[in-house]
Every structure is written in structure tokens, then in C-alpha cells.
Amino acid sequence: MSEIILNKVRKVYEGNVVAVKGLDLEIKDGEFISLLGPSGCGKSSTLRMIAGLEEITGGEIRIGERVVNNVRTEDRNISMVFEYYALFPYLNVYDNIAFPLKIKKIRKKEIDSRVKELVKIFRLEELLYNPAASLSGGQKQQVGVARALIKKSADLLLMDEPISHLDMKLRIQARTELARIQRLAGTTTIYVTHDQSESLAIADRIAVMDVGELRQFGTPEEIYNYPVDTYVAGFIGEYPMNFFDSRLFEENGKLKLVIGSKNLNLPDSIRGRLKDGTDKKVLLGVRPDDMVIHLQDGPERLPGEVQYCEIGPEYSIMNLNFESINFIIRTEKDISDIKDNKKIYLELFSKNFNLFAKDSGKSVLLIPDKRGNNI
């Protein structure tokens, strides 16, 4: 078993610099987990403590049934891939992949079998005897991961920004390949990145970190659709979530939201998800692609003054203003008949939306599970 448990793990560097503040994580056997956050949030420090490359200041790290706080890196039975793969440039692909087994003096026949199995998975057969120096960035990345996976008995695969230096097109191809291979290998994997699109695309669950603390740990759907606070809501998404200063209250049995001078009725389905109380200052959070555009006013529609439009081949971005509140929408709709209008009208509640407490930034809504139950 390669379940990973972090119990109140802390890391304090010289000068009393706190990098990780009492982190709790429980990673299931075979899961692909992403540690996500901006530079300085503690994600790489966490990975390095799991690897044994950094001593932990406090807490406990468990890999399988074993506490590894004082276990050397080479005795933790892990494989690692970092941003730069440290391939031997003048060794060919075969010898680079085989290197971890050669130094352990594994039988040549077994090495040959494992290398050929991996190059088939990675589709590197035609490059098997090419020197590493001649490979493209994406091919080097594949060889680096293949070398990490050749130890079939490894309990854990750790990856720290393994594709961040590749160009955009190659990164998309590489992350798809990483996810495919991890599923085939079934190795428990922890993947560090600052790129939320990578995490959303390939991880089973995502741990969003900020200044050494865990903000939310959940599936990509939970993280994207049901952020626990405004930090996660604003960090996740190609375009950040829009926030509207609002007041939530109840009138004549209806839940209502006041945004500026506009009084809107909330859907009845929200009542069962409210954590407590119905009279409070809140921030309404709506993602740019969750608003529906209309050219005419109507019930529960917010007017928006069009400030600027960016028309692209796949989608368009509109910058709008309502009573000094600036926000954006993203739409695949043809906006050629909209962009010259001075005003449009938006449905805010027809898709997904969120409510956050104004004072704390915490979500005031429970997260529904896949069966519709609140959690």
C-alpha cells in the first residue's frame, strides 16, 4: 500500500521563515494529487519534505505503514521528476531509462524487459538508441518520467513543475501523456505546479495552498464549482471569478440579493445549501462563463454597461460595469450584434454561482455531492 498521510507537518527555515504551517493531507493509494498554488505558498517545500530532501520541523509523514520522518531519501522507495530531468546527455534513451536498475545490478534480461515496456507506453521506440542530447524538450520529459517509473516497486512518484519550461502546445500534450501513463502505472503521484489548468486537467484531487496553508482539498469539480473561499475562487479559472458586493436577506418567504440598486430573487434551491442565517453582507461570486447574455431587460437580470470587447476565434471577452462594479464575461456566442450596444442584461443565477461572507471571505454555501446531498 502507498497511502500517504501528512499530520500537522511544518517547515520553518532559518530566520524563522515559516514555509508550511501544520499541513494535514491524506492521499489514497494510486491517486494522482496536485499541490497547487503561487510561488512561495509552500508546495515545493512540502514535496521536498515527503521526499526527504528537507527535514521537517514538526508533525509526521507516513508512507504506507511507515513513518518516514527520519528515513533517508534513498530508503523511502520513491521516484522523483523535477523541472530539469538531469538526463545523461551522451547516453542514449535506453541507457538513461535503465540507469536506476543498472546501479542496483538488476539482471540484464529484466532491465531490457522493463525498458522496452516503458518505451512502448511512452511511444519512444524509434528514439531508443538516440542520445539524450538530441531529443526535444517534450521527449526529454518523457524519458525523465520513464526513468522514474522503471522502479516498479516504488511506492510514490513525486513531480515538481515537470513541464513548466515547455511551450504551451507541448505542455498540453505532455500533461495528457503524464495522466495517461500514471493511470496505466497506478503509482501514487504528487504533482506540484503553479498552473491551475494543469491541475484541473489531470489530477484526481487538488490541494490548493496559500502562504503555507491548505485552503481546499477536493476534486477538480469541487475546486472549480464550489470554492471554499474567495482566495480559491479567484485563483482557480483561466479568468478569475467576478465578485459583487451584495446583501442577502429574506422577504415574504423569498431569498433575495441586493446588488447596488438592483433587487434580485435567488433560486429556491439555494435555501437548503445555506450554512446559517439569511441576513448578512455577502459577496456574490460568478465565473465569467456562467452568465447568460440578453439584449433586453427582464426578471432577475443585471444591467451592464459595455466598456470593451475582445473578440477571439474561440470565445470573446466583454468588460462591463454596473454602478462602479467592474466585471467580465466570457462567451462563445457571436457578439457582433452586441459589441456596439451600450448596455446588455445578464442572468447571474441560471448556471453556477457562489456566495461568500463579506467579512471572512468564506463560502456560506454547503457543497453538494454527486447525489445532490450537501457535504
**Distance from C-alpha of 290 to C-alpha of 294, rounded to nearest angstrom:** 13
**Would you state the pLDDT for residue 143?**
86
Confidence class for position 374, pLDDT limits 50, 70, 90 = low
pLDDT in tens, 311-350: 777 888 889 999 989 999 998 766 666 766 678 899 999 8
Does 321 share its domain with 259? Answer: yes
Give the model's pLDDT for residue 309.
83
Full residue range of the structural domain in which residue 14 is found? 4-234
Q: Is the dihedral of CA 81, 87, 93, 94 positive or negative?
A: negative
Of the candidates 15, 83, 5, 17, the residue with the CA atom closest to the CA atom of residue 49: 5
- Of 194, 214, 234, the position where a domain reaches its end is 234
In sequence order, which residues have a C-beta less than 8 Å from that of residue 203 and are 6 or more positions away?
32, 33, 34, 191, 220
Output the pLDDT for position 13: 94
Output the CA–CA distances (angstroms, integers) from residue 275 to 49, 54, 300, 339, 355, in the order listed: 36, 40, 23, 40, 11
DSSP secondary structure code for residue 266 in this structure = P
Residue 344 lies in a domain: yes
Q: C-alpha distances in angstroms, 210 versus 18, 54, 243?
A: 12, 20, 20
Q: Is 249 exposed, middle or buried (0-12, 13-18, 19+ CB in 10 A)?
A: middle
* Among candidate residues 237, 224, 239, 236, the one with its CA nearest the CA of residue 326: 239
Q: Are residues 100 and 198 in the same domain?
A: yes
- Based on the fold, state whether residues 151 and 281 are members of the same structural domain: no
179 contact partners, CB below 8 Å, separation of at least 6: 32, 201, 202
Q: Which three cell numbers stand for residue 110?
A: 529484466
Instruction: Report yes or no on 363 lying in a domain.
Output: no
Asked if 13 and 133 sit in the same domain, the reply is yes
Mark whether 48 and 148 lie in a shared domain: yes
Q: Does residue 366 belong to any structural domain of this protein?
A: no
Q: Are residues 127 and 73 in the same domain?
A: yes
In total, how many domains does the chain have? 2
CATH code assigned at 258: 2.40.50.140
Distance CA 187, CA 26 (A): 16
How confident is the model at residue 167, as a pLDDT? 73
Does residue 81 sit within a domain? yes
**pLDDT score for 346:** 92
Mean pLDDT of 96-106: 87
Question: Domain boundary residue among 204, 234, 264?
Answer: 234
In terms of domains, do 255 and 216 share one? no
Give phi and psi for 252, each to the nearest 5. Answer: 55, 40
Same domain, 209 and 281: no
Same domain, 263 and 214: no
Residue 148 lies in a domain: yes
Report the DSSP beta bridge partners of residue 264: 257
List pLDDT tens digits, range 280-292. Answer: 899 999 999 999 9
Both 124 and 52 in one domain: the answer is yes
End of a domain among 234, 262, 293? 234
Q: Does any domain span residue 365?
A: no
pLDDT at site 322: 93
Establish if 122 belongs to a structural domain: yes
Q: Which of 8-12, 148-152, 156-160, 323-327 tops mean pLDDT?
A: 8-12
Same domain for 62 and 162? yes
pLDDT digits (tens, 9 = 90+) for 177-225: 778 878 877 889 999 999 998 999 999 999 999 999 999 999 999 999 9
User: What whole-number distance in Å separates Cα of residue 13 and Cα of residue 20?
Assistant: 10
Bigger pLDDT: 165 vs 155: 155
Least confident residue range of 26-35, 80-89, 277-286, 319-328? 80-89
CATH number at residue 135: 3.40.50.300
Asked whether residue 219 falls in the same domain as residue 246, the answer is no
Residue 369 lies in a domain: no
Predicted TM-score (pTM) of the model is 0.86
pLDDT at 67: 94
In this prediction, residue 355 has a pLDDT band, given cuts at 50, 70 and 90, of very high
- CA-to-CA distance for 243 and 239, rounded, in angstroms? 12
